[in-house]
Amino acid sequence: MWGYLIRRIGESLLILLGISLVTFILLYLVPADPARQIAGRSATAETVANIRAQLGLDQPFHIQYFRYLGNLLQGDLGRSYLQRTEVSELIAARMPATLLLMGAAIVAELIMGLTIGAVAALKRNSAVDQSLMVFSFVTISAPQFVVGILLLYVFAVQLGWFPIGGYGTFAHLVLPALTIGLLGTGWYSRMMRSSMIDVLAQDYVRTARAKGLGKLRIILRHVAPNAILPIIAMIGIDIGLFMSGIVVVESVFGWPGIGQLAWQAIQRVDIPIIMGVTLVSAFFIVLGNLLADLIAPLVDPRIKLK
Amino acid sequence: MSAGTEVNPPARDRRGAWRVLVGLLRRPRSAFGLIVIVAMVAAAVLAPWIMPYDPNDQMFDGLSLEGAPLPPSAKFWLGTDLLGRDLFSRLVLGTQTSLIIGVLANGIAVVLGATVGITAGYFGGWVGGILMRFTDLMMAFPALLLAIVLAAIFKPSLLIVALVIAMVNWVQMARVIYTETRSLAQRDFIEVQRAMGASTVRILGRHILPHLVYSIIVFGTLGISTTVLLEATLSYLGVGVQPPTPSWGNIIFENQTYFANAPWLVFFPGVAIVLLALSFNLLGDVLRDTLDPKLKGRH
């Protein structure tokens, strides 16, 4: 167990190192010149050169990278070129909003996904099952900006149930969480359906039926808990899906999280912020995958650690 | 169950392909997908004859007296956009964009992914190790952020957008093909070929690749859906296909500030994106069940 744990953590760290390198290479290639941007349009060539030297942008690639990596290890993500603030502070300030959205989205998609999957499995091959599965296909085929804007139109503009965007109350949270949650609902409902069908075919379910237990009791006590177990581990992997969605969803809803931060930074080519958000997102994805691998054998002892 | 009857997949069997097609048309899900895809391909090819107006013409009578876009009517079937252009014509031309990028990006991703997967899976060793570690690394990248960064580095043109999407999307295919190639490479019949002195090229081309065809078709079909969605999202964010070339995503990007008053400008392109992505998803899902019993999801 411990050997496995240490090896998996080591692998995760290597992946993070690789990601920091790839991100750095990509952003090194960005043709826009940050020094010129900070200096402004009317600056002299000398001013621009000074700023470039100040930022260390005149150094060779590997020196820039190692300096960056060294700072990274101390939790220093660099300074924003334009806002003159520490990137780590900017991200930390916006992290609570993103985490709140993540939590709400995961709750939403688990409730919707597990319910839909369970109903579909119990009504297997019926018209209900067919329509629910078509619905799950639609949710995974709909881009989040379309879902977000349409939800905004119906529930905020037309019905006025929720605010049009922003942050602060529970009402602000509902639509963005639902938008992200719908995509996950598609995946969870399909996993839940096949997991339920597996469990329903197990001997212990037949035994429970033979004992004359009520249908609802069998489903709630014997089937559902066992069907949900393998899905719990998927939540970790789900974080990757989530991290890809926040840029779009936070921009659509004006949600002040790290996705919106990244989006604003991309438009201003504020490289340290883009790199910071990419790294933090990647960190969450790697952490999520690690957790998924560690949780899977805990919830289901039949899965052996390799 | 057809256990033991199929050792070699009938890759070049025309009747087999015909049977698959009939099977697809018999199932409502894949029939729906196929019909939508054929209709969209037709719309893309016949675009010049279908479009009632020039998609870039900012028509004088395309805006209300107050300068607002017009809702759907007999004259403008799906209404007009903020600049008074006919939305239906722009959507039809956008079909071309989506399909060109979908097929191009996904084609590159499939070739790249399959090549990486086969190389790593068949040869293994340190080359395979490095390739698969790199694949792991790419899996951990937030795909959309990566695509945005790439699209921001290179000035977006259709080809660049397709390349960017391919760079993000090959990973899934590489994973699948790697796993399958690995298990194939260890099977007895490959061992026999090697012992008989067959060249690597021959083994790969005649004995490994044919076994991978089904997976490539299935994941290639599902991949088009991912590609279409990613293109739409990039274009919506303004880093994908650039106006005035219409793409379903950038139509929404251009008009979203006005969506509360002119919802059709988001609704119709949105429906187009969902329909196309959904069709490839449905088709891929049914293909997975019919072509490859190993991959079959329990139904």
Q: What is the CA radius of gyration of chain A?
A: 24
Kindly state the average pLDDT of the residues A124-134. Answer: 90
Length of chain B: 299
Q: Give the A:B interface size as CB pairs under 8 Å.
A: 131
Q: A95 in contact with B at a CB cutoff of 8 Å?
A: no
How much is the average pLDDT of A130-138? 91
Which pLDDT value is given to residue B144? 81
Q: Using CB atoms and an 8 Å cut-off, which of residues 19-38 of chain A contact chain B? A: 19, 22-23, 26-27, 29-31
Give the count of beta carbons closer than 10 Å to the beta carbon of residue A234: 20
Residue A183 with chain B: CB contacts under 8 Å: none
pLDDT band at B295 (very low <50, low <70, confident <90, very high): low
Query: Is A237's Cβ below 8 Å from some Cβ in B?
Result: no
Is B99 a residue whose pLDDT tops 60?
A: yes
**Contact B234/B164 with Cβ under 8 angstroms?**
yes
∠ CA B83-B88-B94 to the nearest 5 degrees? 90
**Each residue's pLDDT tens digit, B149-206:** 777 777 778 888 899 899 888 998 998 899 889 888 888 888 888 888 888 888 888 8
Task: Give the best residue of A137, A290, A291 to mutate against chain B (max B CB count within 10 A).
Answer: A137
Q: For residue B297, list chain A residues with Cβ-Cβ distance below 8 A.
A: 190, 194
Residue A300 binned pLDDT confidence (cut-offs 50, 70, 90)? low
Give me A103's structure tokens: 């939590």
Task: Please report the pLDDT score of residue A305 as a whole number.
Answer: 54
Q: What tokens appear for B44 in the block?
A: 């893309």
pLDDT in tens, A161-218: 988 888 888 888 999 999 999 988 988 999 899 888 888 888 888 888 888 787 888 8
Residue B4: pLDDT above 60? no
| Tokens read off for B254 | 């251009």
The model's pLDDT over B119-153, given as tens digits with 9 standing for 90+, comes to 998 888 888 888 988 888 888 888 788 887 777 77
- Provide the 8-state DSSP code for B294: G
Q: B interface mutation test: which of A91, A146, A258 has the most B CBs within 10 A?
A: A146
Taking only the tens place, the pLDDT of each residue in B44-59 is 999 899 888 888 888 8
Give the residue from chain B lying closest to A164, CA to CA: B260
A96-299 is classed CATH 1.10.3720.10: yes
DSSP 8-state assignment for residue B275: H
Q: Which residue of B has its CA nearest to A29?
A: B153
What is the reported pLDDT for B5? Answer: 39
Contacts of A289 in chain B (CB under 8 A): 140
B239: which chain A residues are within 8 Å (Cβ-Cβ)?
Answer: 266
Ordered by start, the domain boundaries in chain A are: 2-73, 96-299
> Which H helix or E strand runs over A209?
helix A203-210
Smallest CA-to-CA distance from B228 within B280, B267, B179 is with B280
ipTM: 0.84
Mutate to test the interface with A, among B40, B144, B266 (most CBs of A within 10 A): B144
Tell me, what's the pLDDT at B298? 38
Which residues, 6 or more positions from B281, have their beta carbon under 8 angstroms from its beta carbon?
A137, A140, A141, B33, B222, B225
Provide mean pLDDT across the span A114-125: 90
Q: Answer yes or no: do A143 and B149 touch at CB < 8 A.
A: no
pLDDT per position as a tens digit, A4-43 = 888 888 888 888 888 888 888 877 777 666 676 677 767 7
The pLDDT value given to residue B10 = 46
C-alpha distances out from residue B39 to A178, B47, B87, B170, B272, Å:
32, 11, 18, 27, 12
For chain A, the maximum distance between any two Cα atoms, rounded to a whole number of angstroms, is 87
> Which position has the higher pLDDT, B212 or B290?
B212
pLDDT recorded at residue A177: 93
**Using 50, 70 and 90 to split pLDDT, how confident is the model at B299?**
very low
Return the domain boundaries, chain B: 21-51+82-295
Residue A62, both tokens = 């590997």
- Using DSSP, how many helices (H) and how many strands (E) does chain A show? 14, 0
Which chain B residues touch A30 with a CB distance below 8 Å?
A: 152-153
pLDDT in tens, A89-102: 999 999 999 999 99
> How close, in Å, is residue B190 to chain A by CA atoms?
27
pLDDT-derived band at B228 (thresholds 50, 70, 90) equals very high
Q: Which two tokens stand for residue A267?
A: 């438009």
Residue B146 structure tokens: 């990566």
Is A151 within 8 Å of chain B by CB? no
**In 10 A of CB A81, how many CB atoms?**
21
Residues 6+ apart with CB under 8 A from B1: none
- C-alpha of A280 from chain center: 11
What dotted CATH number matches B21-51+82-295? 1.10.3720.10
Cα A218 from Cα A222, distance rounded (Å): 5
Sequence-distant (6+) residues with CB within 8 A of A176 are A101, A104, A105, A148, A249, A250, A252, A253, A255
